[in-house]
Amino acid sequence: MSIILRLDRVMADRKISLNELSEKVGVSNVNLSKIKTGKVSAIRFSTLNAICRALKCQPGDVLEYIEDNDSCE
């Protein structure tokens, strides 16, 4: 199982910059950039809530589940 972060796609759809989103969410550019590029292993619900509020989206717009092809049943 893999969870893919699609923040970059949602930001592009909303035409919002990393700096602007950072200000609205209250998260540093560095941490938001890590989320945007998928270089995190966890995200706080409070951060996800703030991102969804700022982008007027649902968590499913930011997170995507991809089933691994090599997983054993």
Q: What is the pLDDT of residue 68?
A: 82
The residue whose two tokens read 């995507």 is 64
Q: What is the pLDDT of residue 1?
A: 60
Q: What is the pLDDT of residue 11?
A: 97
Enumerate domains of the chain plus CATH numbers.
2-66 (1.10.260.40)
Q: What is the pLDDT of residue 7?
A: 96
Q: What is the mean pLDDT of each run of 10 residues along the chain (73 residues)?
A: 91 97 96 94 95 97 88 54
Q: What is the pLDDT of residue 21?
A: 97
Q: What is the pLDDT of residue 72?
A: 55
